[in-house]
Chains A and B, each alone.
Chain A
Amino acid sequence: MAETIDLSMFVTRDAAGTAHMDLAVEGVGCASCIHKIENGLIQTPGIVKARVNFTDRRLAVDWREGELTAGEVIQALERIGYQAHPFQAARLESDEAEHARWLLKCLALAGFAAMNIMLLSVSVWSGNVSDMTQETRDFFHWLSALIALPAAAYAGQPFFQSALRAIRTRQVNMDVPISIGVVLALGMSLFETASHAEHAYFDSAIMLLFFLLCGRYLDHAMRRKTRAAAGNLAALKAEVAHRFSSDSEIVMVPVAALRPGDRLLVRPGERMPADGVVLSGASEIDESLVTGETARRPVTSGATVYAGSMNFSGALTVRVTVAGAGTLIDEVQRLLDKAIEQKSKVVRLTDRAARLYAPVVHATAAITVLGWLAAGASAHDAIVTGIAVLIITCPCALALAIPAVQVVASGALFRAGVILNAGDAIERLAEVDTIVFDKTGTLTLPEPRVANAAAVDPGMLECAARLALSSRHPLAAALAREAHQKTPYEGAKEEAGHGVRAEIDGMEACLGSPTFCGVNVPPTDEPGTSIIVYAHAGHSAIFEIRQKLRPDAAVAAKALAALGLELHILSGDRPAAVAPVAAALGISAWQASLRPADKIAAIEALKAEGRRVLMVGDGLNDAPSLAAAHVSLSPISAADITQAQADAVFLGERLTPVWEAVTTARRARRLMMQNLWLAVIYNAIAVPIAMAGYVTPLIAAAAMSGSSILVTLNALRARRRGRPRQAVSSPMRSALQARPS
């Protein structure tokens, strides 16, 4: 059955009849890919423009409306050899691109101004010790003012705006002392220039802005990069639903286009695209992504089903609903709102430093002024010295100390397959002393696997796995992963819900339920295990399929415990399913059969003991506890609501990214503290000199750039990795193409 895909929600049209669509493309890895995609598309009749953005792995296509459909564009790309997924740029992302452009403009202007003023300043400094006339000096100072004032007015906006916002909410952030310092330095220099003085600080003020803008821009660029990668992953994950457009006709639509009241067909092996009520059909569904329960639930008409559950055996017709009162989703949402509300405001390290720093510096400057006045200096001299104190303490090093580390550390995490959602996640990750894991999908792989592959004859396994390729059933999908040769047998026939048959080497082979293959299987005592049987030429093999631990779960758990972290498991699954996992990982503190509210209660109990909890979970039932924990992580396979709550998302099949996240965050935190101390030491040396009135613009410039470079170099040490990286699993890698540098 040929199905049409309705992608109209991703297409934008302009008045001239040109349609536009953005796509996230998989597998773009080299120069020839760009060439192949762009040339291949442009040769397709109807396509006007195709442009690959290699940095974001995205493609923008324009075509003449009416000659092509969005689906045909994607098919054209498939023929060229690339999988593409339509992409709706989040509003946030385009705003951020605009902001980045603005920061870059500010940076360019500050850089231009800093260079030219420095040129003039160096002339003045060397002129002051040789034979420069006063007229020439004044001329240079006025020129500096002419450059500095408009440049600061424009390039200083990011700081001034943020400082104003902070003051309006009666708070102090780092931008407040920065703005005060810059404005006072410029004002004082202007006054000094007008009174033909020897020193002006235009260069210090502008250089400060330039350094800080560098840090700000890099920080922003890093964040955009992670957000773009997260957006691509979301596009790759986005699924389609089969919607009845009339009683007999089915159209494939993106899940995002579904509305309450839509009727959907959900076939075996597909995930529920939305919450709904079963109208007709009977099946078993696996709700492990929703509740953590691994045993399947039988559903018939009238049953409520949740987005993310896997349909196992029969086709279902489902009517999409909005979350009704009393449903699980409703409970999760209620708990979630409460948890977010109660989430104590964690004060970020930078803000804490600013709160401490601003009053100290401003008091020091005031004391300097008063001290000089008391010592009999003129009001002018006293104020100039006071402002010199402000300039020299200008929080260059301090304001770079933390963002620089953050940029480097989130880059290192990105390469390790951890994508940060929250800006201050690194600081909070570093403080963690307890980790709470969900079981299903977090400690175990999200999809079930063959548990006894090693015990089966390899030839039989390969044949069975290849035969499984012809089936859509989830158990067959688990078996199909074991196939080395990914070509299905020709003429394989599936009997939905029972099994597949094909002729292999002239003999009939069958794969499916024991009755389908006519094989007697002793009942299994292992809970959560499903059996499928392969029979061929009088031989048969029994495959046990169940949730399997992530391949490195035991190693990662041991490594995390070695960091001094206490590990807990809180699962929604039955105790009989949780106990073996806990035993295998050596985790003694575990609880099973928990409802979302129980999980929160358990986390609150840990918090009441004064612990900082890192929650790692993927299920819909974990979303509230992720919000309640101090900091949270989700695997990329997690339910959408859950992922939105997590402070960071990790990719791939391995659990080691959790370890990477904690160690990198701890190292970053250590470097942040080191940097703060470096800034304090710098001030401890520079401030007395400034208070004594010995600071000249030359000393200020040297001290400022010296300290900034020092903290930035120190921040680069956050790149170092504790353990050689193993590959992130391949589909994720193609989405990211994170190249180690």
Chain B
Amino acid sequence: MNVLVYLVPMALALGLIGLAAFMWSLRSGQYDDMDGAGLRVLSDDDLQR
């Protein structure tokens, strides 16, 4: 069962990366306008004309 000694912490580290990603998205204001984010994807202004 020695494999657990590094597999479980690895699983935790992966989870922590997810948590860090969430905290980053929160800090960069991605949850400030939840309804707008859904609509902005429909506009094409990121395409160069």
Contacts and interface: CB of A to CB of B under 8 A. Distances in A.
B4 A136 contact: yes
B22 A108 contact: yes
Interface in B3-18: 4-5, 8-9, 11-12, 15-16, 18
Given A101-B26, A104-B31, A112-B19, A34 B1 contact: no
Given A31-B42, A32-B43, A116-B12, A109 B36 contact: no
B4 A39 contact: no
A291 to B, nearest CB: 42
Interface stretch (A51-59, A67-75, A497-505, A682-690): A51-59
B1 A133 contact: yes
A648 B49 CA distance: 49
A112 B35 contact: no
Contacts of A143: 8-9, 12
B15 to A, nearest CB: 5
Interface in A23-47: 30-32, 34-35, 38-39
A101 B42 CA distance: 27
A605 interface: no
A229 B22 CA distance: 28
Q: Interface of chain B, helix or strand or loop or mixed? A: helix
A136 B1 contact: yes
A190 interface: no
A255 interface: no
Contacts of B15: 112, 115-116
Contacts of B9: 143
Nearest to B41: A31
A147 interface: yes
A108 B1 contact: no
Given A34-B39, A101-B26, A147-B12, A53 B33 contact: yes
Contact of A105 (B1, B23, B40, B42): B23
Contacts of A55: 32-36
A139 interface: yes
A709 interface: no
A204 to B, nearest CB: 20
A139 B34 CA distance: 41
Nearest to A38: B45
A579 to B, nearest CB: 49
B35 A54 contact: yes
Contact of B45 (A39, A133, A139): A39
A38 B46 CA distance: 13
B13 to A, nearest CB: 11
A186 to B, nearest CB: 19
A119 B18 contact: no
A247 B43 CA distance: 51
B33 A54 contact: yes
Interface string A345-378: 0000000000000000000000000000000000
Contacts of B31: 101, 104
A108 B22 CA distance: 8
A38 B40 CA distance: 11
Contacts of B32: 53, 55, 97
Contacts of B12: 116, 143, 147
B25 to A, nearest CB: 10
A108 B35 contact: no
A133 B19 CA distance: 31
B4 A31 contact: no
B27 to A, nearest CB: 8
Given A32-B43, A35-B45, A39-B45, A112 B18 contact: yes
Contacts of B11: 116, 119
A140 to B, nearest CB: 8
A139 B7 CA distance: 13
Given A116-B12, A139-B4, A143-B12, A34 B23 contact: no
Given A133-B1, A139-B4, A35 B43 contact: yes
Counting chain A CB atoms within 10 Å of each CB, which of B16, B36, B40, B43 scores highest?
B36
B46 to A, nearest CB: 11
Contacts of A101: 26, 31
B1 to A, nearest CB: 6
Contacts of A112: 15-16, 18-19
A522 to B, nearest CB: 58
A109 B35 contact: no
A452 B33 CA distance: 48
Contact of B39 (A54, A56, A139): A54
Interface of B: 1, 4-5, 8-9, 11-12, 15-16, 18-19, 22-23, 26, 31-36, 39-40, 42-43, 45
Sort A-B residue pairs by CB-CB distance and give the 3 closest, nearest first. Answer: A54-B36, A31-B39, A35-B43
15 contacts: A34-B36, A39-B45, A53-B32, A53-B36, A54-B33, A55-B32, A56-B33, A104-B31, A105-B23, A108-B23, A108-B26, A120-B8, A133-B1, A136-B4, A143-B9
Given A38-B45, A55-B35, A105-B26, 6 more contacts: A31-B42, A31-B43, A55-B32, A56-B33, A139-B5, A147-B12
